[in-house]
Every structure is written in structure tokens, then in C-alpha cells.
Structure 1
Amino acid sequence: TASTPPSYKIIDGKLYRNSSECRHFSARCSGVEHYLLRAAPRMSRNVEFVINVADYPLVPETPLRPAPVMSFSKSDGRHRDVLYPTWSFSQGGPCLHPIYSNGIGDWNGTRQQLLAVAQAHPWSNKTDVAFFRGSRTSQERDAVVLLSLAKPELFDARYTKNQAYKSAADTLNLEPAPYVSLPEHCKYRYLINMRGVAASFRLRHILLCGSAVLHAVDKNSNWREFFYPAMRPWIHYVPLLPNLRDAEDKLLFLRANPDWAKRLAAEGAHFIDKHLRDSDVACYWLRLLRRFSRLLSYDATLRDNMRPV
């Protein structure tokens, strides 16, 4: 993990960064800077801010005055980080060899690809099971793999390898499954989303498939990205308990009500398609920085260790 999150300043419409930072996660920093550089010329006030490009949020929920650190994800009730759109909208997303050797990234291209694949796999042609493929980045995900072993006629879920894979114990003593690309997820009628280290990057992608997404949500510590609060359960996705004890009943409900499930799937895809475009992400960044700058009680100035991006 990065020892120190990178600090940035926008001075007179130009972006600067601490020159010694970002060496651990250079692609992630570049993914963030893609949008910061677009916002900088439109800033009317100078501003400085800290962006956490590691997976886990940094600011705990305490009675103390919170530190103004920006993170891509946080858990409600546990963290006070300010949410920003993850770097993977541009680059620095998860690297899954050999499918995504350079990371997911490039939201424009991925978005258009998923929309096209979704059209090629309409609801009537999708496989009628709930599907999940991913690595064991959280033990909470064990529930879906165990459910698949118990109910293979309803669930198709297996673990893949990740960078930390050491033995079959990392895949619940099962043979690691082959990686499945995001477009290949669109072949399935129901898709399951569960948190990983923090919030899962995949939610916005699988919603575009036009499949009904079953999204595990913990009301007491809900992991989310910046756009999650705009979505509505039972309209854009089906909420699941994090232990998935309700997953079988809810999947059976969807299968017994295919027209309703199809409409929910369409609403989820429509939400991402119309409200999470590249221009929407850029707009969020600009509004975030403008509002943040108004909270500063001083005028940000350059330090010797700051270099132009």
C-alpha cells in the first residue's frame, strides 16, 4: 500500500502534485489526474486536497473532527472519507491476466462494449441462473460460492485466482475457475455483486448488462461508491443480506416473475447508461472540488515539493 496518499493543489487553474508521491500506484494517480486536469482550468479558487489511491478508506468514524481525505469507497457508519469517482473510470483498474492485462479502465470504451453485448444477449436468451466470478478479496464472498455448491441449479459461483493466490485454500479448496470477462457476464439473467476489499468495481459494469443484479448490502456498514446513493433498491437492483440467507428466496421470486425482473434489469442499465457517462463523472469531480474549495478558510499556495502534473 502507499505509505502516504498523494496531495494535490490547483493554483491559478493549474494542477500540482507532491513530486515524491504516487510511486506505488502510478496508474491510479494517472486515472485520477485525468479528471483533475479537466477540472483545474474551470476552478475559480485555489484549492489543496489529499486523495487516497489505496483500496481502503483512511478516515475512521470518531467523535473527533474528521480529516478531509478523499477516497473512492467507504463504509457508512465506519468512515468519514469524502467520496470521489474511482481512478478506474480512466485507468488503473484491476488487472486480470490475460483478459485485462492493463486494468479495466477506459470507461467510455467499456461502457459502449457492454451496451452492445447486452443487445446481443437479450433477456430471453440469457442463461437462467445467478452468476458470480471473482477472487476471494473478502470472506463475505464465501457465502455465494457455498450457495452455488448447495444449489447448482440456481447459482453458478466460483472463485478465480488473484495476485495474492497461494493455494487452493484461497478458493475454498476448489480448483480456481477461469477468469470471465465483463461482457461475458451479460450472458446470464441474474448477476451477484458483493464487496471485495472495499466496494466492488464491478457494479456499474454488470448493471449495464441488462441483467437483474442482486447486490449484497449491509445496512449497518454499507460499502459504497459515490453514485450508490442515487440508486434505489427494488428499482435498479435487488438488495441481498451480506450473508445471502435471502438469496435463494429472492432469486426464486425473480424467476417466478420474469416480466418484473426484466423491467428491473432494464431500469438498472438505464440508470448507468444515462447518469454515469464520462461527462457525468467529470461534472461530479468539478462540483466536488468547487464545493471543497469553499470550505477552505485560507488561500492555497505552492510549496517547494509541488510539481506541475
Structure 2
Amino acid sequence: MSLRLFSWLLPLLLYLNLFFRRELAAAEAGPIPSAAKTLVWGPGLETDIVLPARFFYIQAVDSSGRNLTTSPGEKTFEVKIVSAVEEFTRIWIQVLDRQDGSFLVRYRMYATYRDIHIHVLLKNKHVAKSPFILKGPVYHEGCDCPESSGSVWEANMHCPQAFPQIDRDLALYASVDPDRNAQEIPQRFGQRQSLCHYTVKDNKVYVQTFGEHVGFRIFMDSILLSLSRKVRLPDIEFFVNLGDWPLEKRKPTENIHPIFSWCGSNNTRDIVMPTYDLTESVLETMGRVSLDMMSVQANTGPPWPEKNATAFWRGRDSRQERLELVKLSRAHPNMIDAAFTNFFFFKHDESLYGPLVKHVSFFDFFKYKYQINIDGTVAAYRLPYLLVGDSVVLKQDSSYYEHFYNELQPWEHYIPIRADLRDLLEKIQWARDHDEEVKKIALAGQQFARNNLMGDKIFCYYYKLFQEYAKLQVTEPKIREGMEHVEQPSDDLFPCYCHRMKPKDEL
């Protein structure tokens, strides 16, 4: 070969080598998202949906219109949020890769701005209908600017028409008498239990506590104040149980009292609310908590085929069945990895069921395909976070329930196991033998959590509960003697000016 011919061929060969390497890398990386075809939607793109952390979704779609089902890369999409009329915006943004071709974008506003523009970019190209424009004042979580019409607020929030659990709980009460309850409930429960007696009047919150351990009042105070900043609440008077166990054990035919609790049971008549844990995670998302329904979605472990096919559990010794689980794990370590991180209730048995193991990050739970959910003192409040991950839940049959349990279907959203765990090994083996079917159950549980347990639905649930309960009242809610006003937190650094507030007439 002549030198001239070689000098001509060499650049061509180098170019072809580079071209094929790029093509091979692109093929290995999978389909490439299309800026025009990719979908963007969600409540965080609507002005009137005020949440502690607003959020929306991106579904990557390729040029042929097919949804991507694997991650195109954590940094694929860039999101910028600016105000058209203000130079600086104090907004914290996170783009969370859900590893299934979709992304969850969340942002927390620390001040109120006008005319926000949300730019969603793919390699500097606008995605879908970007920029998305939120017109008018866009209020942050601390802004006290309630919508006066509950029906308008519910429509803006896209709240469900009804929540079956609320209907079930309130069906036990033909009417509610605040005057009678104010006398009888403290007499019946106030000495041995910890309670809060709340009145909401003219959208202001008042409270009186009963009992010794009332620290958990902060969770109820916080959700009431947050909700009252967003929508005008009905005048309402009610009692909240601050303990773990539901209280009202009388039969419906007897003189039952309405008690709001974070957990219900088949043997009690309490009115169930979202748990304090889930409530706080909503209020403090991107704040002081790290475990919330959004952060879990970006930390679901390796892809399904690469997960460890062992059933996993960590926790404390708050129930006899948890001791049995650890015993099972020792006898069958190839099937179950279960251990205690803390001893409190059965300290005398620590030598039998210890030693304690180090705390495991909740996100690391999802390195395992099978998550065991066993009651603690009452229902195990981790279930929402387990469901929204990328593993299947083996849930213990239980008489305790949270506000959403009755909407879950066994074998559709989770794998049921007996209360005494007698069939646990059998169910784990079944799961190993039916991998594709189990993966579908895991995905259905995940979708249920995504649809029903995010912050917008939690606010809707509380509002609907208060609204429906208020309709049952036959005497006027009152600010009782001994009640204190729960004031809204001050926001002197970033005050907001509510467009719904009519300015006072000048003298």
C-alpha cells in the first residue's frame, strides 16, 4: 500500500472506529429521550396547588413515542425555576431519577413569587410544553392565604370525591354533639390517656391538652395550621388521641365517643387519620426529614433481577412476632435476613435474640426483593415507604390498620402472611418460584402508593375528614375554657401579601 493511500485511509478508519464505538455506546445506553415527545405533568405545575414541597413528573419518551422503562441517566433533564418579575428566587430544586424511565421533580419555595417559569430542558432544548408558566402570586408553604371556598380548593387540588375509610368511620355516628363530648370525653379518657381537645373557629386553631405525655401534639398542630393557611376550614370541635393504641372500645350500639387516632383496629371505633409519621414527612419534605414518599422513589435499590432474593427486616422488639421472625431468620438464613437494631420491650430476652445489629439505611432495604412488614406496638408505620419502593411487601395479617389499608388488595398490592408467621417460609418460596408474578405485585403496590399516599392526597384526606365530620355537629363548636390559641409561625424574613385578603379601609 502506498504511503499516499495509507495517509488517506487512516483518517477514514479512525472516523469509522469512532462512529461505531459511539453507536455501540448508544445502543448499550438504550433509547434516547425526545424533547418533543417526552411527557411532563403533575400538581407542581399548577399555581393553586400549594404544598410544602411542590412536585411534578417527567416521563422520558423516545422519538418513536415509546416510554422509556429504564433510566436514561440521572442528569438527563435539567430544571430551572425563575420569576419573570423578580431577579432572585429562593427555591430549592431536586430532580429525582426513579430508575424506570420517569423522574420526580420536587421543589420547595422559601418565599412567594409572581409569574414563575419552570424550564424543563433536555440538552438545552425545552421539553414538552416547557417553559410552564404559573401566573399570578405563587404562594410558599408559610404564606397564610386560605382559599375561602372549600369546593374550589378541592377542585384545584383534584381531591377524590370521597375516601372510603372516612365514610366507614363516620357511618357509626348519626350526629356529633360538641357540648356533650366536651364534658364526657375528658372524664372518660382524660385521666389515663393523652388527648388534645381542638376547636377550629373562624379558621383559627385552639387546643387544650389532657394527660401527661402530650408532645405528639406538635404533629396535629402543624397539619391544622398548614391546612388552614391553604383553605378555610369549617368550624369544628374534636378530640385527638396522642397515644399509639386506638381508644374507643364500645360497641356501636352503645354510647360511643368520636376519637381521632392515627391508627385504627378491628376492635375499636376510632376515626382514623394519616399517621403522624406520614403527616410529618409531608410537612417537612426537603426540610428536616430525609425519609419521605418522594426521596424513597429515588432510592429503590438495584434493578429487580439484581436484588437479593431474601426476605428482609430490621427494627425493634415491639411485638412477640418480631422475636419469632428473628428466630426464623436464624434457622433459615438463606431465606430471611431479620435482626433487631434496638431492645426495649423484651430486654430480658436480648441474650436469646441478640446481638443487636447496626442501623441500616432505609434505602438499603431495597437491595432485597422481599420486604417483611410486621406490626409494632400497633400498625407498622413504615408500610407506605415500603410500598413505594421497588420490592414486594409480605404483610402480616393484622387487626390494626392505617387510613389506607382497607383499599389495599392482597395478592394485588402485597403478599399476605398469617399473623403468627406460620406460612412465611412458604410464601417466600412461592415468591421465588413466581418471580414475574411477584414483580407485578411489587409494581402494583408501588403505583398505589404513588397515586394515593403523596402529599396532595394527604392534605385532601384531612380536609375531607374535617369537612364531613363538621356536618355531623348538632351544637356549635366553641372555644372552651382552658383552650389556648395555636398561632401561625411568624415569617418575618419572607412575608407574603395574600391577594385574597381585602385591604382595610383607610380612616
TM-score with structure 1 length normalisation?
Answer: 0.86
Cα deviation code 1:223-275 (max 9, x no counterpart): 10001111111011001101111111111111111111111111111111121
Correspondence for 1:91 among 280, 286, 290: 280
2:478 pairs with one of 297, 301, 306: 301
Aligned to 1:116: 298
In structure 2, the residue matched to 1:35 is 223
Describe how 1:141-290 pairs up with structure 2 within 5 A. Answer: 141-162=322-343, 164=344, 167=347, 169-170=349-350, 172-218=352-398, 222-290=399-467
Q: Shift in Å at residue 92 of structure 1?
A: 9.1
Residue 9 of structure 1 is matched in structure 2 by 199
Alignment of 1:14-93 (within 5 A): 14-18=204-208, 20-21=209-210, 24-26=213-215, 28-40=216-228, 42-43=231-232, 45-62=234-251, 63-76=253-266, 78-91=267-280
Does the 8 Å CA contact 2:281/2:292 hold for their aligned counterparts? no
Provide closer, same or farther for how the CA distance between residues 106 and 239 of structure 1 changes in structure 2, counting only shifts above 3 A. farther
- Tell me by how many angstroms 1:304 deviates: 2.7
Maintained 8 Å contact 2:279/2:458: no
3-state DSSP of counterpart to 1:186 = helix
The equivalent of 1:137 in structure 2 is 318
* Structure 2 CA distance for partners of 1:165 and 1:194, relative to 1, 3 Å: closer
Q: Secondary structure at the match of 1:31?
A: helix
Q: CA deviation at 1:292?
A: 0.7
| Residues 264 and 270 in structure 2, CA contact (< 8 A), matched pair in contact too | yes
Greater Rg over alpha carbons, structure:
2
Alpha-carbon distance between aligned partners in 2 of 1:29 and 1:171, rounded to the nearest angstrom:
37
CA distance 1:43–1:291, shift in 2 (3 Å)? farther
- Aligned residue pairs, count: 291
Note closer, same or farther for the CA distance 1:233–1:69 as it changes in structure 2 (3 Å cut): same
Higher relative contact order, chain-length normalized (CA < 8 Å, sep 6+): 1
Q: Which runs of 5+ in 1 are unaligned?
A: 94-101
SS at match of 1:91: helix
Q: Taking structure 1 as reference, are residues 108 and 199 closer, same or farther at Cα in structure 2, changes over 3 Å only?
A: same
Contact 1:160 1:171 in 2 (8 A): no
Q: Which amino acid aligns with 2:356?
A: P
Query: Percent of counterpart pairs with the same letter?
Result: 28
Query: Taking structure 1 as reference, are residues 171 and 110 closer, same or farther at Cα in structure 2, changes over 3 Å only?
Result: farther
For the structure 1 residues 138 and 92, does the alpha-carbon distance in structure 2 shift closer, same or farther, using more than 3 Å as the test?
farther
Greater strand proportion = 2
Q: Secondary structure at the match of 2:480?
A: coil
8 Å CA contact retained: 2:370, 2:391: yes
The two structures have a TM-score, normalised by structure 2, of 0.54
CA contact (8 A) 2:318 2:345 kept: no
After superposition, the Cα gap between the structure-2 partners of 1:279 and 1:154, relative to the gap in structure 1 and judged at 3 Å, is same
How far residue 210 of structure 1 moved from its aligned partner, in angstroms, is 1.1
Runs of 5+ consecutive residues of structure 2 not aligned to the other structure: 1-190, 487-507
* Distance apart, 1:205 and its partner CA: 1.0
State whether residues 194 and 243 of structure 2, in contact with CA within 8 Å, keep that contact through their aligned partners in structure 1.
no
For residues 72 and 171 of structure 1, the distance between their equivalents in structure 2, rounded to whole angstroms, comes to: 34
Once residues 107 and 267 of structure 1 are traced to their aligned partners in structure 2, the CA distance between those partners, rounded to angstroms, is: 26
State the superposition RMSD in angstroms.
2.5
SS of 2:386 mapped into structure 1:
helix
Note if contact 1:217-1:240 (Cα within 8 Å) is conserved in structure 2: yes
Question: 1:66-120, CA deviations, whole angstroms, 9 ceiling, x for partnerless residues?
Answer: 11001111221x1111101111124399xxxxxxxx9xx97786222211111x4
* Equivalent-residue separation in structure 2 for 1:196 and 1:61 (angstroms): 24
